[in-house]
Amino acid sequence: MAGCPACGKGELHRGKVREQMFGVDLGEYPAEICDSCGESFVDQKAMRKIEARAKELGLWGLAKKVSIAKSGNSLVVRIPAELARFLKLKGGEDALVRPEGREKIVVELG
Q: For the residues of 32-81, what is the DSSP string, one character each?
A: EEETTT--EE--HHHHHHHHHHHHHTT-TT-----PEEEETTEEEEPPPH
pLDDT digits (tens, 9 = 90+) for 1-47: 689 999 999 999 999 999 999 999 999 999 999 999 999 999 999 99
- Number of folded domains that form the chain: 2
pLDDT digits (tens, 9 = 90+) for 63-96: 999 999 999 999 999 999 999 999 999 889 999 9
Together in a domain, 47 and 72: no
Range 55-59 average pLDDT = 94
Give the CATH number, domain containing residue 86.
2.10.260
Together in a domain, 19 and 46: yes
CA angle 28, 34, 36 (to 5 degrees): 130
pLDDT at 110: 81
Together in a domain, 47 and 76: no
Residue 24 within any structural domain of the chain: yes
pTM of the model: 0.75
Together in a domain, 75 and 96: yes
pLDDT at 53 over 90: yes
